[in-house]
Structure 1
Amino acid sequence: MSFCGKCGASIPDGSKFCPKCGNPMVSQVNSPEPGVPNPGVTGEFPPVDPAPQPEPAPFNYNQYGSSGGSDYSGPSYEPGKKGSGKLVLILVIAIVAIVAVILILLFTTGILGGGRSGGSAYEKPVQKLMNAIEDQDAQLVVDVLPDEIVDLQLEYYEDEEELADDLASYIFSDFEDYDSIKVSYKVTDREQLDDDEIDDLIDDYSYNLDVDLDITDAYDLDLDVDFKADGEKESESLSLTVIKIDGSWYLDLFSL
C-alpha cells in the first residue's frame, strides 16, 4: 500500500489520485510509516523554467524608407538630430524684416524725415527750399515751383536767371548778411488735403494767375526750422503746402 506524499492518507495500489486530497500520484514510493510523507516525493509537478525569450531587436526608424518595401516616402527620422538652429535663423530673419518694414513706414510717413534728407517724396520741395537757403542757391528756389508757374512768370522776366534772383531776394532777405548758414528742419504735423480743398487750390491758381494746374494730391505741413548763421542760432515755425502735379511734388506758391 502507498501513502499520499501530501496528506499522508493511505492509497490503494493502482490509484492515480489520493482519495482524500486528490493529489496526483506521480512516481510514488512506499513510505515507511503511515501519515509521513515519503522523502523526495512531493506529489506536485516540479517547476518548469520558462524558455528563454530573445532580446527585442531595436526599432529601425528608417525601416519605412527606401528598402522596407513600403510606399512611405517621408523624411527618415534620425534620433538626436534637432532643427532648433533653423528655427532660430527663421526667427531672426522675421524680426529683421519686421524692423525694416517699420522703418520704411516711419520714413514714408515723415515721422523720421527732416534735415537735408527728407524721408518722404512730398518733402522733396521742402528739402530743396532749405538747401537753397543754406547754399544761397537761387536756382533751387525756381526748381521748387511747378513748371506752369515758372513759364507764366517768365513772361515778366528776361530769363529764368532773373526770375531766380528775384525770388531769392525775397526768400534770402533775412540771411543775406551772413557768410555761413546751416539749416535743419523737422516736420511736426501734416494734413492731407481732401478733394474739395484740392479743388479750391486749383481755383485759386485759375482765378489769380489764370493758369490751370492738374493737382492730384496735397499736404499742409507744419515745420520746426533751426537756422544757424555765423554761430548764431534761431528757431522758427513755418507752415507750407506741397502739391503733386504729374507725379512730382512742388511748393504751393501761395504758401511761400
Structure 2
Amino acid sequence: MCTVVVRVDPGSAWPVTMLALRDESPERPWDPPAAWWPERDPAIRGVRDRSAGGAWLAASDRAGLAVVLNRGEDVPSADGTWATRGIVPLDAVGGVLPGHDGTVPTTRAFNLVRATASGAEVLTWDGSRVRTTELGPGVHMVTHGEPDDPAAPRIGRWLEAFRGVEAPTGPPVLGPFDELRTADAGDDAGDGWSGWFGLLAESAVLPADDPDAILRDAHERDGHFATLSIVAAAVGPERTVLQHARLTEPGRLDGSVELHHA
C-alpha cells in the first residue's frame, strides 16, 4: 500500500515536509491535485478519486495536509458496505478528525497522516477504535501498519536510511524528478530534497513486487496495486505547497512523468 516519509521540525519556517507515494489499482481513475470540492471549501485541493469522489491527499494553506493509507484489519459492516476512505482527508483539512465526537468511522481501516504548522500525527482506525500517535521531531515513515515499525516491510529496510540523509526543510524549488535525475551524479538542486529523492532512486533497483520496494507494482491479497504518483509537500504557518508527479509507467521512475504544482 501507500508510503509516507515525514520530517517534523517544530518552530522552523516549514515545520513539516513530506514525501508521499500513492499505491492504487492502475484501473481506478483519478485526478491530480486541484480544487475539486468547491461545495466543501474552494481552498481545499487534493488528489481526487473519480470513482468515489474522495481524496487520497487533501490540503489547504490554512489547514495543512492529510493523507490516508489503507490498513488491513477487518471492519464489520451490517450491510457489507462502507463509506469511502477518501472522505477522511477532506474532513481532516476541514477541521473534523476521525473519532472527534466519540463516534467511529464508517470506513474500512486506515492510517491518516495529518500535518499542520504545529507538527504531525497519525490517526489510526483499526476497526475497534481511533487512536493517535504523535510524530515527534525527526524523520518518520508510515505504511499500512504502525508508524516507524521496524518489523514492517519498507520501514525496516528504509527508515534509518531516510534518517541518515539530509532531510528537506522546505518546498522543492525544481520539479522533483528533475532533481532526482541529477542525484546520482552528486549534484544538489539547493533545496534540500536531493537526499530523499536519491534514496527513492536507490530503492527503485528492487523488483516492484519485493516486500521492501517503495515503488510498487504487485498483485496482493486485495488486488493489483502499483505506485501511480508521488507528492512532495511542505507545510508552513500560512502556506502548504504540493508538487505532484504522475508516473506514466506505474511503479517505475525510469519512464517520463507529468508534473503538477498545487
- Decide: shared fold, TM above 0.5: no
TM-score, normalization: structure 1?
Answer: 0.23
TM-score, normalization: structure 2?
Answer: 0.23
The structure whose residues are more often helix, as a share, is 1
Flag the structure with more relative contact order, 1 or 2, with Cα contacts below 8 A and sequence separation at least 6: 2
The structure whose residues are more often strand, as a share, is 2
